[in-house]
Amino acid sequence: MTDRVLCRLDDLDDPGAKAFDIGDGRPEVVVFRVGDAVYAYRNDCPHLNITLDFVPGRFINLDGTKIQCSNHGARFNFHDGHCVWGPCRGEWLERVAVRLDDGRVILDEAAAAADNSS
């Protein structure tokens, strides 16, 4: 399986986020950077199944500590996508497997295939 590079870690602010259409017919993937860690989730808020970035490209709250849905303000942890505040409290964003390799953020298609087979 060929590595699918989404971006370089240095392409993302810290903290920062960028959305990618990976062409699978589902909501785009948003990659979040916090320090040297990366996390990725579908751009789909569990509250109303709408994109997190009503304001295009805005995915993080003002103090840079949480993912924030700009539609209704729900806040999610970076590390696990768990909603800790707002109308979807207790729900999770859909995780997408990514990994870092030599400063590149790579879509981990092998992990995604394993997740889909279980």
Question: What residue spans define the domains of the chain?
Answer: 4-117
- 30 membership: H or E segment, kind and range: strand 29-34
Identify the pLDDT of residue 23: 92
Q: Which residues contact 38 (CB under 8 A, 6 or more apart)?
A: 9, 12, 31, 32, 98, 100, 105
Spans of the chain below 70 pLDDT: 1, 110-118
Q: What is the pLDDT of residues 34-52, one digit of tens each?
A: 999 999 999 999 998 899 9
The structure's pTM equals: 0.90
Residue 111: the pLDDT is: 56
Contact by Cβ (8 Å): 28, 19? yes
Q: How far is Cα of residue 23 from the mean position of the Cα atoms in its chain?
A: 16
4-117 is classed CATH 2.40.110.10 = no
Q: What is the pLDDT of residue 109?
A: 77
Tokens found for residue 46: 């569990």
